[in-house]
Structure 1
Amino acid sequence: MFGSISKARLRWKIPLSIFHLFEGRAEQALMSMTQAHELAPGIPSIDFFYALILMYNGSLEEAFSIVEESKKTNPDNVFTQVGIFLKYALQGKKKEALQSATPQVLEWSCNDFTNPLGIVAGYSLIGEKEEALNWFEKWIDLGFINYPFLSKYNTFLENIRGEERFKKLMERVKHEWENFELL
């Protein structure tokens, strides 16, 4: 699909874009992820992160277009399915969003500290606060303790920020963030 130089460029573009997003630099994240998407369009994980970063930049129609294209070419891929969940959530289509949060999607989302991002955001956006908070806690338990991202940069969490449970969890995150040490 692409040469070894492109593979090498691709390997660092994706983590760099996610790093920028988690640092609150969504525009820089988009620049890196756009380059990754240009190098390897049609790969579900790249399509998902590209659409996700477009969403964080407010480019919803473009993001939805990426999700729809991925739905046509890779309908059973979990990245595609999480993208569909987020698309419906951002469109305010609660019923469709809940239907797209299949057991497969939810099971997969428990296996890595970055995976719950889309699930927490989607549930928060559709007003499913208890589910959003349950997934938020799972996300933290999986090791995601980026206090700045969770407290201010992740705009999709606005619906749960005022909840007492969220505040308690954020106290934990802040403590772990401030006391993080590499072993």
Structure 2
Amino acid sequence: MTTLIVIAVIVAVLAFVVIGSYNKLVALDQRADQSFADIDVQLKQRNDLIPNLVETVKGYAAHEQGTLNAVTQARAAAAGATTVNDKVAADNMMTAALGRLFAVAEAYPDLKANTNFLELQRELSDIENKLAAARRFFNNAVAEFNAVRAQFPTVLFAGMFGFGQEKPFFDVGAAERETMNAAPPTVKF
């Protein structure tokens, strides 16, 4: 009889551990999915601004068609991205294209003074700040999920529950990392 009680207690403890591990993984998975949805919202807002920005620049810099096409292509890629890795690649392409667009704008003083352009630039800057915060929140949620998924005893059950794969981070990408490691720009007055 004592052996049966010991076995029942061990089974109950194991059941609590398994249920607790599963519930923790589900909660962290949901948090990561929610934070990724927050990134999607910011990316959509940014993508919605792009046509207005392109049209404003087009009026001043019509011969800069290559830059405008790059921004339009980056927007199309961003709209078609579905996975985290695709969205990271599209986001990096959009960031680079917008950087080139704003560099073009520097050559046109009338454009830089245009209130519509300035307002779009301010809105884009605001969205970029929100997007950076959403990326940090997402990467934090992913790090927490990946850490719990790899910890004992959860690692024993994660695969059985469908949580066998690590979630990818929303990172800047290799090309952007190389740019960040380049020599800083020199500023002369």
Classify the TM-score, shorter chain.
under 0.3
Which structure carries more relative contact order (alpha carbon 8 Å, separation 6+)? 2
Q: Which structure dedicates a bigger proportion of its chain to helix?
A: 2
Q: TM-score, normalised by structure 2?
A: 0.24
